[in-house]
């Protein structure tokens, strides 16, 4: 049986990853290689397919003289067994129509001859070894700083064809040369097979589906290798494509794992910063945050994002986990330094941007669901991050109490009462509220009436309707509160004190074991922050006059 000589691309695979083409002509990698001989100025072998190996030790002048004696015909392949002493432009001028390679470092010419001999061996004897060599060569590309381009470049050398990686819509992600993607992708889209042979308008090749490591059963895109050669693809090139497709999937899997590890580290740093209590600052923790691009000295905000609705699962992962991935991607796309942590029902993120910029990044991502966003004050040290976190919790609870209000609330938008809660702390406000309202703690109906009265902007009829009672009954409850506390709701100081105290107590009733108030207990408490007030009208004597006596019409 007559064996076809191997192509230069196959020989390059045998030479190893260090070998490279210095001077390349059209279809150089497809040139057949029948054998090899060492040439150091002696007569040239007559076979035009012979590789000419320039021996070690050539100086620049000697190599220049050697190449000047090389005839233009027939086309030859020269392999330098030591680094070229001449610059590439000079080599290109001297080489003419010939192809020049560098074997990689300083190698024994005999090793090059043996590599050619191995490439030309009988298929039955060498197929396993050649495939193993191919896989090793392609796998080594994963160690490059940019593994995907390096892998596609080696696949191009091994198959002597154009290589492209495209997404599910046929858009090019990486390519080593011009490829008619629209023409080929139309053919690929006609079937759902994982691997396809292509023959379209003179373009022949192989397309392998790239599966998504994060979503079983889904795929990312296609690896396409194509050429206009009539004999493409051969078995060796097809095997190279299948091996490369598996390695592309491995690249995506490694990227996914690296991203998950980075998120876990970022979450740990953020959680440690949020947990700071006794230590006002922590330079080591600030340095760890800075390693992720978050410079606390330039100002950092804590934001809480709570989806309004969440399905039990999304894209094969818990809905909140999928939202966390989408949010992280949106922040990366907007070049916003961040640390992200996922809680049970919401996300906590430290960002170096304004609330408006954060909102734009979230809105720009169509995969992020409708979300409440609470943003805290600017923290200029690591010890101020818990304060910013408290602001964000307060903002979220305020947004939850106003379903028709805004979806984003930042510290700068807090009213006076909210600033008071934020600065004093909800825990301390709760203690003061319990002491002030002590006569009412065991009478939940009175607290319920007071809360409804404030929640409906002192509208007696609306508050009574919300409680499903007669308005005179609500007037009686408010009058009883005045009697027990020995105060008058006509007095502005009393009104504001009751308003703040009832709000603080609502928070305690949602998080601790105290007598249940129906309105507070029915609201979900999943963010550790007080039920806060927003948008209530200022009290007036006319509004307050209706509570002077239960007998008043």
Contact 497, 482 (CB under 8 A): no
Would you call 265 helix, strand, or coil by DSSP? helix
268-272, 316-320, 353-357: least confidently modelled range:
316-320
Rounded distance, CA 294 to CA 298, Å? 9
pLDDT of residue 306 exceeding 80: yes
User: For 548, how many CA atoms within 13 A lie in the half-sphere containing its CB?
Assistant: 8
Which band of pLDDT confidence, cut at 50, 70 and 90, is reported for residue 41?
Answer: low
% of the chain beyond a pLDDT of 70: 80
Query: Which has more confidence, 280 or 33?
Result: 33
Which band of pLDDT confidence, cut at 50, 70 and 90, is reported for residue 456?
Answer: confident
**End-to-end Cα distance, the chain:** 114
Please report which helix (H) or strand (E) contains residue 504, including its range: helix 492-511
- Which of 466, 456, 473, 283 has the alpha carbon at shortest distance from 383? 283
Burial of residue 313 (CB within 10 Å: 0-12, 13-18, 19+) is exposed
pLDDT of residue 539: 38
Q: What is the pLDDT of residues 485-508, one digit of tens each?
A: 888 888 888 787 888 888 777 755
pLDDT of residue 230 exceeding 50: yes
| Cis amide linkage into residue 166, ω under 30° from 0 | no
Query: Which has more confidence, 42 or 145?
Result: 145
% of the chain beyond a pLDDT of 90: 5
User: For 528, how many CA atoms within 13 A lie in the half-sphere containing its CB?
Assistant: 10
DSSP 485-500: HT--TTSHHHHHHHHH
- Which of 83, 64, 110 has the alpha carbon at shortest distance from 22? 83
pLDDT of residue 309: 67
pLDDT of residue 49: 63
Which band of pLDDT confidence, cut at 50, 70 and 90, is reported for residue 518?
Answer: very low
Contact 371, 358 (CB under 8 A): no
Rounded distance, CA 253 to CA 266, Å? 20
pLDDT of residue 545: 33
pTM above 0.75, yes or no: no
4-18, 86-100, 124-138, 145-159: least confidently modelled range:
124-138
* DSSP label of 80: E
pLDDT of residue 217: 76
How much is the mean pLDDT over the chain? Answer: 76
- Which of 348, 352, 385, 390 has the alpha carbon at shortest distance from 274? 385
Rounded distance, CA 501 to CA 158, Å? 76
* DSSP label of 65: H
Question: Domains of the chain, with CATH numbers?
Answer: 8-121 (3.40.1390), 128-253 (3.30.450.40), 275-414 (3.30.70.270), 423-547 (no CATH)
Angstrom CA distances, 222 to 74, 171, 256, 544, stand at 40, 10, 18, 71
pLDDT of residue 103 exceeding 70: yes
Which band of pLDDT confidence, cut at 50, 70 and 90, is reported for residue 403?
Answer: low
pLDDT of residue 4: 65
The encoded tokens of residue 65 equal 């003289």
Which band of pLDDT confidence, cut at 50, 70 and 90, is reported for residue 536?
Answer: very low
pLDDT of residue 513: 31
Please report which helix (H) or strand (E) contains residue 410, including its range: strand 408-410
pLDDT of residue 225: 92
Query: Which residues, including other chains, have CB under 8 Å from residue 390's CB and lie 6 or more apart?
Result: 376, 422, 425, 426, 529
pLDDT of residue 198 exceeding 80: yes
């Amino acid at each position: 049986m007559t064996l076809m000589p191997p192509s230069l691309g196959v020989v390059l695979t045998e030479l190893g990853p260090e070998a490279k083409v210095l001077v390349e002509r059209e279809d150089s990698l497809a040139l057949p290689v029948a054998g090899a001989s060492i040439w150091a100025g002696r007569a040239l072998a007559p076979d035009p397919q012979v590789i000419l190996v320039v021996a070690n030790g050539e100086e620049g002048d000697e190599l220049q003289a050697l190449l000047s004696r090389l005839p233009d015909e027939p086309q030859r392949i020269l392999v330098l067994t030591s680094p070229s002493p001449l610059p590439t432009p000079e080599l290109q001028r001297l080489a003419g129509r010939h192809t020049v390679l560098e074997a990689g470092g300083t190698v024994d010419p005999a090793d090059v001859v043996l590599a050619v001999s191995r490439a030309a061996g009988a298929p039955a004897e060498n197929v396993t070894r050649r495939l193993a060599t191919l896989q090793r060569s392609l796998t080594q590309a994963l160690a490059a700083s940019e593994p995907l381009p390096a892998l596609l470049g080696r696949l191009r050398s091994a198959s002597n064809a154009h290589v492209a990686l495209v997404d599910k819509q046929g858009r090019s992600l990486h390519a080593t040369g011009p490829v008619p993607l629209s023409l080929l992708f139309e053919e690929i889209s006609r079937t759902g097979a994982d691997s396809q042979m292509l023959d379209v308008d003179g373009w022949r090749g192989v397309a392998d589906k790239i599966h998504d490591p994060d979503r079983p059963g889904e795929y990312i895109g296609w690896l396409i290798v194509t050429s206009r050669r009539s004999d493409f693809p051969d078995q060796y090139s097809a095997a190279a494509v299948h091996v490369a497709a598996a390695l592309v999937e491995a690249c995506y899997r490694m990227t996914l794992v690296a991203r998950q590890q980075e998120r876990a580290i970022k979450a740990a740093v953020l959680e440690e910063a949020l947990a700071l209590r006794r230590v006002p600052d922590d330079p080591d923790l600030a340095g760890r945050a800075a390693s992720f691009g978050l410079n606390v000295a330039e100002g950092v905000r804590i934001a809480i994002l709570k989806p309004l609705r969440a399905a039990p699962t999304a894209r094969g992962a818990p809905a909140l986990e999928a939202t966390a991935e989408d949010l992280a991607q949106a922040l990366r796309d907007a070049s916003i330094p961040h640390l992200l942590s996922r809680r049970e029902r919401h996300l906590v993120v430290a960002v170096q941007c304004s609330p408006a910029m954060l909102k734009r990044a979230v809105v720009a991502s169509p995969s992020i669901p409708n979300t409440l966003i609470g943003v805290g004050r600017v923290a200029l040290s690591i010890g101020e991050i818990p304060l910013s976190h408290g602001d964000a919790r307060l903002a979220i609870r305020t947004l939850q109490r106003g379903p028709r209000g805004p979806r984003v609330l930042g510290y700068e938008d807090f009213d006076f009462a909210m600033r008071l809660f934020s600065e004093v702390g909800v825990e301390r406000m709760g203690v003061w509220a319990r002491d002030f309202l002590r006569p009412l703690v065991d009478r939940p109906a009175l607290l319920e009436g007071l809360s409804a009265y404030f929640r409906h902007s002192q509208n007696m009829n609306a508050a009574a309707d919300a409680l499903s009672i007669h308005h005179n009954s609500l007037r009686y409850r408010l009058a009883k509160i005045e009697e027990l506390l020995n105060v008058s709701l006509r007095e502005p100081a009393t009104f504001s004190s009751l308003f703040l105290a009832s709000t603080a107590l609502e928070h305690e009733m949602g998080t601790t074991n105290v007598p249940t108030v129906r309105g507070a207990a029915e609201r979900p408490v999943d963010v550790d922050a007080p039920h806060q007030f927003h948008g209530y009208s200022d009290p007036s004597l006319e509004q307050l006059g209706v509570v002077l006596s239960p007998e008043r019409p």
